[in-house]
Amino acid sequence: MSVNLRDEMAVFGIKEAPIMDISCDDLEWQENAVIGIGAFASVYRGTLKIEEGVQPLRVALKVWKEELNEATASGFLSETETLRKLNHQFIVKFYGAALHKEGDRLRTILVMELCTENLRSHIFRHKSKVPGQSSTPTAARNVIGWAKDIADALKYIHRQGIVHRDLKLENILLSLGNVAKVADVGVSKEAKAITGTMTGTPMYLAPEVMKSCIYDYKADVYSFGIMLWEMWYGKRAHLDLVGDVKEFYDKVLEGARPAHVEGSKKPPIGLRDLMQDCWDKKPDNRPDATKCHKKLTQLYQDAVAPY
> For the packed helices 289-304 and 218-233, what is the interaxial angle rounded to 10 degrees?
20
In the set 149, 152, 166, 280, the catalytic residue is: 166
Does 5 have pLDDT greater than 60? no
Strands, sheet with 94-102, edge to edge from the N-terminal-most edge strand: 27-37, 41-48, 57-64, 105-113, 94-102
**CATH code matching the domain that covers 117-304, chosen among 1.10.510.10, 1.10.1740.10, 1.10.569.10, 3.30.930.10:** 1.10.510.10
User: What SS3 class is residue 107?
Assistant: strand
CA angle 76, 83, 215 (to 5 degrees): 90
- d(CA 28, CA 45) in angstroms, rounded, equals 9
Per-residue confidence band for 17, with pLDDT thresholds at 50, 70 and 90: very low
The predicted-structure confidence for 254-303, as pLDDT tens digits, reads as follows 999 999 999 999 999 999 999 999 999 999 999 999 999 999 999 999 99
Percent of the chain with pLDDT over 70: 88
Give just the sign of the alpha carbon dihedral 137, 238, 222, 82: positive
- d(CA 183, CA 92) in angstroms, rounded, equals 6
Taking residues 152-170, report their average pLDDT.
95
- Residue 16: what pLDDT? 45
Per-residue confidence band for 100, with pLDDT thresholds at 50, 70 and 90: confident
CA atoms within 13 A on the CB side of 59: 24
- Residue 3: what pLDDT? 52
- Residue 10: what pLDDT? 54
Provide the CATH topology of domain 5-113. Answer: Phosphorylase Kinase; domain 1 (3.30.200)
- Domain span(s) for CATH 1.10.510.10 in the chain: 117-304
- d(CA 226, CA 153) in angstroms, rounded, equals 17
- Residue 169: what pLDDT? 96
307 exposure class (CB count in 10 Å sphere: 0-12, 13-18, 19+) = exposed
- Residue 1: what pLDDT? 42
The predicted-structure confidence for 68-85, as pLDDT tens digits, reads as follows 877 777 777 878 888 988
Catalytic residue at 240? no
**Annotated binding-site residue? 295:** no
Taking residues 211-239, report their average pLDDT.
94
**Annotated binding-site residue? 62:** yes
**Annotated binding-site residue? 171:** yes
The amino acid at 293: H
Q: Using DSSP bridges, classify how beta strands 172-175 and 105-113 pair: parallel, antiparallel or unpaired.
A: unpaired
- Residue 7: what pLDDT? 56
